[in-house]
Structure 1
Amino acid sequence: MLAGPVRGLFHSPYRIIKPYLSEGMTVMDVGCGMGFFTVPMAKMVGRTGRVIAVDIQRQMLAGMVRYAGRETVADRIEPHLCGADSLRVERWNGTVDFVLAFMMLHEVSDQERMIREMHSALKPGGRLLFAEPVIHVGKKTYDGELSGMKAAGLRVATVPKIPICRAALLEKPCCMDEGVIECPV
């Protein structure tokens, strides 16, 4: 179900994330599972791009690697096993253009830490697409998660429409000098 064709009817990776990705980007899929978004992301960033696929379950990463191999994009993906207490992604701090956190934050016990780690991984001007399922995550809980992202220093750029989800595209400002939140030209 999590990687099957029926899910693609509701959550087409190309429709949902293609507008935010381009050739050569470094992107991170947090809670990648079997690679439903990871493999299409690897195609979208092209041969010069990189996808960091983060999951807590070794079996999910192994399944994602098999899927990526069948789709001939495994060389663009770096599987990363995180811990229950941390994403352990410090080596990528400040290097990631785009982070996807799709229908997974509600499952994390230390959301504040995870949000800080995703924020740290992003380079200035980087973006994070955050979505939660309306069925499992009520508006109050979602608003609390979104407030945590704002408290970490991210700002809402837009609110994309994603079926059966509440979602926000957030950006890491380039400059915080005296309230300036846009990148200098």
Structure 2
Amino acid sequence: MSDGNKRVCPVERAGRLDNRIRRWLQNPHKIVGPYIEEGMTVLDLGCGPGFFSIEMARMVGKSGRVIAADLQEGMLQKLRDKIQGTELEERITLHKCEENKIGVSEEIDFVLVFYVVHEVPNQEEFFNEIGVILKPKGQVLVVEPPFHVSKSAFEETISQARNVGLTLVERPKVLLSKTAVLKKS
């Protein structure tokens, strides 16, 4: 999902993505809670070390499933180490994306794309692939960092998502972020 021109967060910095301070500032339950119900199949796209994946797995319950997808095997290994031997291991499926393809084929109720889209070289193809796997009325929460993504670049991201048939539903507030919730008709 990167062509080398866009930087991805290196595995060595994974600790910055999952720590108590971030959990306090960007509480996963508060951010994704309004969109996830028990029994859902959800996709954490660009999951990193699992900051959101673990909380999402608790929220979908035993009848639900989280697909934690990342481009880097090292990030997936960090998440694997966290959930190994726990009940969450049954609910979280780890998936390694390809360079320019998500590669998930299951139907998805909810997709989280947190601080990832700015790393994707072809956003229209990216959102098209999400649109294909998203169930009707399924939602996508796009969250981008304001320090990497300008307002105009974020609006272009939303435009790319709309071009493939996703509809803008709301713009929830997330600290240190530009956000949008999009829905499949």
Taking structure 2 as the reference length, the TM-score comes to: 0.89
Identity %: 39
Aligned residues: 170
Distance in 2 separating the partners of 1:146 and 1:65: 32
Structure 1 runs of 4+ off > 6 angstroms? none
Deviation at 1:140, TM superposition (A): 0.7
Work out which of the residue numbers 91, 106, 112 in structure 2 matches 1:100: 112
Distance in 1 separating the partners of 2:53 and 2:86: 11
Q: Does 1:14 align with 2:29?
A: yes
Q: Which residue pairs with 1:178 in the alignment?
A: none
Bigger relative CO (Cα 8 Å, ≥ 6 apart):
2
> What secondary structure does 1:168 align onto?
strand
Q: Does 1:135 align with 2:147?
A: yes
Q: Does 1:147 align with 2:162?
A: no
Q: For residues 1-185 of structure 1, what are the structure 2 equivalents within 5 Å? A: 1-69=16-84, 72-89=87-104, 91-92=105-106, 95-173=107-185
Deviation at 1:71, TM superposition (A): 5.1
Distance in 2 separating the partners of 1:80 and 1:9: 27
Letter in 2 for 1:46: G
Q: Which runs of 5+ in 2 are unaligned?
A: 1-15
Q: Which runs of 5+ in 1 are unaligned?
A: 174-185
| Structure 2 contact 124–163 (Cα < 8 Å) conserved | no
Deviation at 1:131, TM superposition (A): 0.7
Q: Which residue pairs with 2:8 in the alignment?
A: none
Letter in 2 for 1:67: K
How far does the alpha carbon of each residue in 1:83-128 deviate from its partner, in whole angstroms, 9 at most, with x for none?
A: 1111111x21xx1100000111001112111111111110001000
CA RMSD of aligned residues (A): 1.0
Over 3 Å counting, the alpha-carbon distance change for 1:70 and 1:17 in structure 2 is farther
Taking structure 1 as the reference length, the TM-score comes to: 0.89
